[in-house]
Amino acid sequence: NDPSLCTHLVYAFAGLGPDNKIKVLDPWNDLCDNYGKCGYDRFVKLREKNVNLKTLLAIGGWNEGSTKYSQMAASASKRKIFVDSVVALLKKHDFNGLDMDWEYPTQRGGAPEDQANFV
């Protein structure tokens, strides 16, 4: 566990809720609320051991599928809701950025327009 060996670390995973907002998938592990394990906080504190380290939160992954990301990306109003919620969560927990791990645009229930909407 030597964060001085890395430039970036990615915490996996958050998800996408039915309201198009980023969703903490494992609140007990990720948050400090209700005697949780404070995973987010402990993760970003690794920067204390490497001041140049960037900590990112990943959203998506295989288990999240593609359909809800496709539907969110297809709508400007849904994208705004998503982006606003992501920025708020990243700031609240002091992450440096987001890894959008949408697996996979245009596949697994996605739409042909996903590629353009993802960009």
Which residues does the annotation mark as catalytic?
103
Question: Of 50, 39, 23, 52, nearest to 93 (Cα)?
Answer: 39
15 forms beta bridges with 23
Backbone angles phi, psi at 10, to 5 degrees: -120, 125
Q: How many Å apart are CA 81 and CA 22, to the nearest integer?
A: 9
| Ordered alpha helix ranges (H), 1-119 | 27-30, 39-44, 67-73, 76-93, 114-118
Which pair of structure tokens corresponds to residue 81? 């809701």
